Amino acid sequence: MKSKKKTSRNLFLIILFLLICIGIWLIAFHDREKPLEIQSGTVQKRNITEIVIANGKIHPVTYVKISSEVSGEIINLPIKEGQLVKKGDLLFSIKPDLYIASSNSAVANLESSKGSCDIALSDLKKWESEWKRSEELFKNQLLSKSDYEQISNSYFSAQATYTNSLHQVTVAQAALDRAAEDLSKCTIYSPLDGTISKLNSELGERVVGTGTYTGTEVMTISDLNHMEARVEIGEMDINLIQLGQRVRLEVDAFRDKKFTGTVTQIANTATDTSSNTEATKFEIRILINEKDTFRPGMSVTAEVETRYANNVISVPIQCVTTRSSSTNLIDSGSDSDELLSPKKSAEVKKDTDKIEEIVFIIEGNRVHSRKVIRGISDDNYTEIKEGLQIGEKIVTGGYKAISKDLVDNQLITIKP
């Protein structure tokens, strides 16, 4: 009996001992720090080109909007949209009947003015001879003073009439020149070699001249041999753009081709926007180096190479994250806050709460944060001016670990 009791007690003690061991093991396992899985890389030197990306349209470098200077009906339109034209080729003609009539009327007015001038000249010569004769008679006291003054007044009046008739001839000649000019403008010729890129009017349509109104834009002639991209750059990046910078271009219509260009013009004034909510942008023009079948209005994406850095210390751009510089001070100084008034404590936190850019350095199986100063960046890498050395092992991923989970002295395991 005693043997049974002793066996039961020993079994109970063994079970109790096992339970205590399991409890201690569970507590130790629960409290053990779990490593965070990360990806690693090394600090290297690279060539970095900073780019500014902008979108826009393709335009010809040279194009002319053709409008008629006179109003009327289009009676001749021998060209079509897309047609090549040479300088001096006929583009279209305006019905000239009204302008022919105006020219004929101006010719008649000129002839009438010339006739009136001839009559005035004849009268002037007549009164000039009368005046000379009366002057001799008046000197010899053979003519009364009143008669002499009357003849003199008639002579001076004839001079004024003749001068006025000369002016009338000048006015009539100017009217004729204008009428002839208007008549000549009824026929419009191409001012340059190019392509009819846009044709807005048809045969038989009436157009408004540009003399006193905006006028009707009949067509546009473009030189498609020289094309440019016009893109808009935000005000934050416009100061990085300079004339002569190289540009990589992607045209939506040519998916498998890449093009290059050069910045040739930078706007001094922001693009006019109708809404105040739109971002301020500036237009830049980029001459396209390659020749291809570009069409005005094609969409283009431009990558302007703004700054360069060769053989500089760099890391993948996702390696750099931000942390508050006051985190360690506030966490480790919880007792010190109790010694300060709430207002003073808030001021201390405000002064020390600065955002710093850091990179996590791998040392053994732990990471340590290190403050860095960045330079320029491209799509994949960023220059590190201060804080890192060549060959140092750093955390390169994943994004959530770098941006949020990792802390200084974090236990890690490197993902193969």
Same topology for domains 54-60+223-310 and 71-92+191-222, yes or no?
no
Mean pLDDT, residues 226-246: 92
In the structure, what pLDDT confidence band is assigned to residue 342 with cuts at 50, 70 and 90? very low
Q: Is the pLDDT of residue 40 over 70?
A: yes
Q: What is the pLDDT of residue 78?
A: 94
- Please state, in angstroms and rounded to a whole number, the distance separating the CA atoms of residues 150 and 148: 5
Q: Is the pLDDT of residue 55 over 90?
A: yes
Q: What is the pLDDT of residue 145?
A: 81
In the structure, what pLDDT confidence band is assigned to residue 5 with cuts at 50, 70 and 90? low
Q: Where are the domains of the chain?
A: 36-47+312-414, 54-60+223-310, 71-92+191-222, 96-185
The yes or no reply on domain 36-47+312-414 and CATH 2.40.420.20 is yes
In this predicted model, what pLDDT tens digit does every residue of 180-195 receive, in sequence order? 998 999 999 999 999 9
Phi-psi region of 72 (alpha: psi -120 to 50; beta: other; left: phi over 0): left
Among 215, 225, 212, CA closest to 66: 215
Mean pLDDT, residues 74-90: 93
In the structure, what pLDDT confidence band is assigned to residue 142 with cuts at 50, 70 and 90? confident
Mean pLDDT, residues 89-113: 92
Q: What is the pLDDT of residue 212?
A: 63
In the structure, what pLDDT confidence band is assigned to residue 86 with cuts at 50, 70 and 90? very high
- Beta strand 36-42 with 410-414 is parallel
Range name among 33-37, 250-254, 383-387 with the lowest pLDDT average: 33-37
Q: What is the pLDDT of residue 226?
A: 92
Q: Is the pLDDT of residue 339 over 50?
A: no
The mean pLDDT of the chain is 84
Mean pLDDT, residues 234-258: 90
- Chain-centroid distance, C-alpha 207: 33
Mean pLDDT, residues 352-376: 88
Residue 80 neighbours by CB under 8 Å, 6+ apart: 196, 199
CATH superfamily of 54-60+223-310: Efflux pump adaptor protein, beta barrel domain (2.40.30.170)
Q: Is the pLDDT of residue 352 over 60?
A: no
Q: What is the pLDDT of residue 327?
A: 52
In this predicted model, what pLDDT tens digit does every residue of 254-271 receive, in sequence order? 988 899 999 999 999 988
CATH classification (class only), 71-92+191-222: mainly beta
Q: What is the pLDDT of residue 330?
A: 35
Residue 194 neighbours by CB under 8 Å, 6+ apart: 60, 62, 63, 64, 84, 85, 221, 222, 223, 224
